[in-house]
Structure 1
């Protein structure tokens, strides 16, 4: 990674860590290993596989869900607060990679400010003649 993308990644990790700490204030707020295992099993169900095949032309990829379960099992022996911290770090890094990496939305340029004349101003005649319906 370049220095600029590394810096953007580190900033994204910090922002996501802060956001996740707010969303998950206690160790009981993070998902349990059983919940993650259920999500993995659910991904492999016939209905979800057919839906993925229909929508995307390929079977659903369940490996990321299994990796989440394995990560949960690897931190299961930690103190609950340490487990929460590790889970938040892990998820913050995942979100940061998604934010900094490319996606289907990468083709759009983000505007710093709105367009000057959009939407065009309406006159009194436009409103009274029903031109809003057009």
Structure 2
């Protein structure tokens, strides 16, 4: 299965995000994005990331989302929603098209033949029931 090109991936993500954020009120607010940034820096999340991945979490993109939100304040709510959706769609498209642990697996179009192998019927030997 081949991956779509970047433009197609962005269009697919935009279509999905327009369903996810049907109105301007549904997009995350700047305070919410700032809270997300702060929670990234909390000691609990720092330790969890060190344990799971061996490194501190990267919080800079969360701050960039917050700054981007602040830059949209002078726009009309629908324009702000469109700008947010475009930004997130591009982010998701980059993520989808980048290398992933899933790249080593090929998606099967049909199940393997004769899998799982049928269990043969063994004759039941009568014996004492305990």
TM-score (norm 2): 0.83
Unaligned runs of 5+ in 2: 123-130
Paired residue total: 122
Instruction: Tell me, in whole angstroms, the C-alpha distance in 1 between the residues paired with 2:106 and 2:33.
Output: 36
Does the alignment pair 1:51 with 2:48?
Answer: yes
Unaligned runs of 5+ in 1: 127-134
Larger radius of gyration: 2
Alignment equivalent of 1:21, drawn from 18, 21, 30: 18
How much does 1:117 deviate? Answer: 2.8
Show CA shifts across 1:28-71 (max 9, x none): 11100100000000110111111111221111111111111111
SS in 1 for 2:58: coil
Misfit runs of 4+, over 4 Å? none
CA RMSD of aligned residues (A): 2.2
Show CA shifts across 1:80-115 (max 9, x none): 000000101111111111111111211112223332
SS in 2 for 1:73: helix
Alignment equivalent of 2:61, drawn from 61, 64, 88: 64
SS in 2 for 1:39: helix
Partner of 2:126: none
Judging by fraction of residues, say which structure has more helix: 1
